[in-house]
A and B are shown apart, each in its own frame.
Chain A
Amino acid sequence: MADVEANRQYGEWDMNEVELEGDISVPGAPSAIENEDDQQFNTLDEPVKDTIMRDARAVGKKFLHVLYPKESRSLLREWDLWGPLVLCVFLAMMLQGSTETANDLNDGGPQFAEVFVIYWVGAAIVTMNTKLLGGSISFFQSICVLGYCVLPLAIALIVCRIILVSEQNSVLFAIRCVVTLIAFGWSTFASTAFLAESQPPRRKGLAVYPIFLFYFIISWLVVSHTHH
């Protein structure tokens, strides 16, 4: 009997504790008011199309945040790697040179693997550097931000490919350079804005330099791509 009572007491105590936890309002955590919304997020009942569309909308919102880097929390809090993966595959495919032209004088443009490795290893190195310098950010959050912030460069690549359709001259080359330079600045600025809070305050210069180098290499790949 004593055990039963003790268990009941413990049980009650536990339940009280659970209730207490539930009442604490944690910023960012789903509150009781949002429970109705949570029920709608039950992916078991909804059609697959809705699930995919919701995820696609979340990815699209993040792309918008990169193009207009004002809200700095959303990308960090709800990170995903879909956007970076899509951008990476897009960049790698667009920059892929034809292997038929590869010979002693020409390597046929950057290879798919090269772009892929630069993208992911570069992002990983930048993240490692931020952590080594004492920044407070999780690994995938940083990868997510760095990956999403390549979007301006992907847009620059599309513009460059359109320009490359016509006959090339120095003016068009200059336009390509300017477009890529703007995209490079935009990418660096956006990623710095998103990661500013997580970087150590007195060492921002040290944390920004690898980011600068990372986007510089990608933007240079974009500019140097001349294959039709």
Chain B
Amino acid sequence: MEVIADDESDYEADFNSQSLGGNIDSGPHHMNDPERGQPATDLKGQVTQQVTSMMWQEGSERAKKAFNIYANIDILRPYFDVEPHEVRSRLIQSLIPAFPSAAATQVVPRELYGPTMVVFTLIALLLFQMKTSGHVVQEGTLMGTAFGICFGYWFGIASIMWVLAYVCNTRISMMQLLSLLGYGLFSHCIVLFLGTVWHSSSHASFYMIWAVFGGLSTVKMVSVLTSRTIGRTQRLIVCGTLAFIHLVFLLYLHFAYHRIVEGQRFVNP
């Protein structure tokens, strides 16, 4: 019963506070004012203070959490729990497609170490390519551009594919998509490396390695998505989009930064 009485006093405190600005004579509640007005105001002040401090604490804790690197690390740690031989075999497997069958869905690891390292390697290769071709970035640095392109592609396309997979009812999670796309970028690394080191004047050799390595990784990803999607149209939409984006991105990476080399050659033969 005492609890109920306390509750009532709380409510009265609210009413009192509301009536302060308006009509003072507000019915039966006004009768209790001389007795309870002062404690109620105190209580209200305390509650306000407590709520404010609670909100402040919670806000600061959230801010700390957002900025606390270790909290984020603990969230990501399970995705980095791999052995070196696993990463090696997954890198090789990313270029070996398996025949898709609806009966057996292909396993996609939820792992981010390999993809992250592949993306960093791609950034390094891209920087190398940009520097050797004398690419000029007017606003910002080459580093920023390479970072933006690689991580933007990785997260951006994974998000797009996740939405598509959700629409087309593909059984794949965001982490699996990140892992799949990240390992898929391994072929980009190979092609860019070969394209930079073994630079020939004709584009035939580049198209050949583009078709071989890019094609292999694309077929691998398509086979994984096919085994996890039901319905022909859905498969076509998901796999077609991924294959198109994956192969065009590789062409973009190569030609966006090699065009200037040819220009240089033309000027300074």
Write the residues of chain A forming the contact surface with B, with a CB cutoff of 8 angstroms: 102-107, 110-111, 113-114, 117-118, 125, 128-129, 131-134, 139, 202-203, 205-206, 209-210, 213, 216-217, 220, 224
B interface, over-half SS: helix
Q: How far is the CB of B151 from chain A (nearest CB, A)?
A: 12
Size category of the binding interface on chain B: 20 to 34
Sampled A-B contacts (20; CB under 8 Å):
A103-B136, A105-B134, A105-B260, A106-B134, A106-B136, A107-B134, A110-B142, A113-B141, A125-B120, A128-B69, A132-B80, A133-B80, A133-B113, A134-B81, A139-B69, A209-B117, A210-B117, A213-B117, A217-B127, A224-B132
User: What chain B residues lie within 8 Å of A118 (beta carbons)?
Assistant: 143
- The 3 tightest CB contacts between A and B, nearest first, are A132-B80, A205-B84, A114-B141
B137 touching A206, Cβ below 8 Å: no
A106 to B260, CA, bound (A): 10
In the complex, besides A105-B136, A107-B134, A203-B84, 7 extra interface pairs with C-beta distance below 8 angstroms are A102-B136, A105-B263, A107-B135, A131-B70, A131-B73, A206-B84, A224-B131
Residue with the highest number of chain B CB atoms closer than 10 Å, among A102, A131, A134: A131
B128 within 8 A of partner (CB) = yes
B55 within 8 A of partner (CB) = no
B77 within 8 A of partner (CB) = yes
User: What chain B residues lie within 8 Å of A131 (beta carbons)?
Assistant: 70, 73
B121 touching A202, Cβ below 8 Å: no
B76 within 8 A of partner (CB) = yes
Closest residue on chain B to residue A117 by CB atoms: B143
User: What chain A residues lie within 8 Å of B264 (beta carbons)?
Assistant: 105
Given contacts A107-B136, A111-B141, A206-B82, contact A132 B76 (CB under 8 A): yes
User: What chain B residues lie within 8 Å of A111 (beta carbons)?
Assistant: 141
Q: Which of B105-159 contact A (CB under 8 A)?
A: 113, 116-117, 120-121, 124, 127-128, 131-132, 134-137, 141-144
B124 touching A213, Cβ below 8 Å: yes
User: What chain B residues lie within 8 Å of A128 (beta carbons)?
Assistant: 69, 73
A129 to B267, CA, bound (A): 44
Closest residue on chain A to residue B140 by CB atoms: A113
User: What chain A residues lie within 8 Å of B82 (beta carbons)?
Assistant: 203, 206
B124 touching A217, Cβ below 8 Å: yes
Given contacts A107-B134, A114-B142, contact A220 B128 (CB under 8 A): yes
Cβ contact of A216, chosen from B124, B143, B144, B267, cutoff 8 A: B124
B252-269, CB under 8 A of A: which get 1 and which 0? Answer: 000000001001100100
B83 within 8 A of partner (CB) = yes
B216 within 8 A of partner (CB) = no
User: What chain A residues lie within 8 Å of B113 (beta carbons)?
Assistant: 129, 132-133, 206
User: What chain B residues lie within 8 Å of A203 (beta carbons)?
Assistant: 82-84
User: What chain B residues lie within 8 Å of A105 (beta carbons)?
Assistant: 134, 136, 260, 263-264, 267
A215 to B148, CA, bound (A): 21
Residue with the highest number of chain A CB atoms closer than 10 Å, among B120, B128, B144: B120
B120 touching A213, Cβ below 8 Å: yes
B190 within 8 A of partner (CB) = no
Cβ contact of B83, chosen from A102, A113, A139, A202, cutoff 8 A: A202
Q: How far is the CB of A180 from chain B (nearest CB, A)?
A: 14
A133 to B83, CA, bound (A): 10
A70 to B123, CA, bound (A): 33
A40 to B124, CA, bound (A): 49
User: What chain A residues lie within 8 Å of B209 (beta carbons)?
Assistant: none
User: What chain A residues lie within 8 Å of B84 (beta carbons)?
Assistant: 202-203, 205-206
B34-51, CB under 8 A of A: which get 1 and which 0? Answer: 000000000000000000
Closest residue on chain A to residue B130 by CB atoms: A107
Closest residue on chain B to residue A103 by CB atoms: B136
Q: How far is the CB of B58 from chain A (nearest CB, A)?
A: 26
A110 to B267, CA, bound (A): 22
